Amino acid sequence: MTFFMLLAALALAGVGGWMRRRWRALGQAIMVLGGLGLMGVVVMQVRQNVFPPQSKAPNRYEMAVSYGLANVLLGDVAGQGGKVLLIFPQRRVMDADTEGSYEEGFIPALRHGHANLDLKAVRLEGANGDLAAFKQALAQAQEALAVISYAGVPAGFETLFPAGQKEGPLFYVFDSDGTTNWLGPLKTGRIRAVVVPRPGLDARAREGITGMPDTVFERFYFLATQANAEEVAAGLNESSIKR
């Protein structure tokens, strides 16, 4: 955009110089406008280089999700190294700042656990509930040690795996919509753990959160495992009925 503004300013100054030969006053006025445009472009460039835009700080509410999942993952892999695939929704559903906060949430837990894990992010090519989109994303997880979905899982998720297949990456889920599509696969062990928001919390309470990640996690989320899957799902269903 700056390049086109520069061209426009130069063109305006050039037109003013040409017009000055016939209409001195008008030509000079146009040349002045072109000069002001050039000065404006220079000022914009200086501001961008000297005072670059500050990126948005990671959100602790979102970071806590990854902190909780990372701790479960570290316990499961027991010092193994490898690739961890992070599945995010489409950009229109989740912006870059939110995605960045989830990725940042892994850093403290991985550093503390001295884990040699390589994070790789992919985005769904369809809606969160689209089985075909998940199948396409999982095609990139063939050599992954683990997969973490921040897009929940679609109904019928277990059909993406051949019957009786035991081998495969460890699977973890964050279900921001509070569905129970994960219940069956969690009970069978296909999914290792699920994080869901605690129902009934005021969204305004998420702003300006301070505190340690474990404290934030306990305040805002449930961690569902094979041991308490039914209990967590029942709590979510009860909340949806009350609403």
- How many angstroms separate the CA atoms of 52 and 47, rounded? 7
**What was the pLDDT predicted at 183?**
94
**What was the pLDDT predicted at 117?**
84
- How many angstroms separate the CA atoms of 120 and 83, rounded? 7
Question: Strand ranges (DSSP E) for the chain?
Answer: 82-88, 117-123, 146-149, 170-174, 193-197, 221-224
- How many angstroms separate the CA atoms of 62 and 96, rounded? 13
Are residues 16 and 28 in contact, defined by beta-carbon separation less than 8 angstroms?
Answer: yes
- How many angstroms separate the CA atoms of 107 and 94, rounded? 20
Closest C-alpha to 212, from 114, 108, 112, 115: 108
Closest C-alpha to 218, from 61, 59, 99: 61
User: Which helix H or strand E contains 36, and what residues bound it?
Assistant: helix 24-50
Mean pLDDT of 171-198: 93
Q: 214-239: per-residue pLDDT in tens? A: 899 999 999 999 999 999 999 887 65
pLDDT at 241 over 70: no
DSSP state of 174: E
Residue of 242 and 97 predicted with greater confidence? 97
Query: ∠ CA 235-238-241 to the nearest 5 degrees?
Result: 150
pLDDT at 140 over 90: no
**What was the pLDDT predicted at 34?**
53
pLDDT at 77 over 60: yes
Half-sphere exposure (CA, 13 Å, Cβ side) for 216? Answer: 20
Mean pLDDT of 133-138: 89
Give the predicted TM-score (pTM) of the model: 0.72
Q: 92-114: per-residue pLDDT in tens? A: 888 888 888 888 888 877 777 66
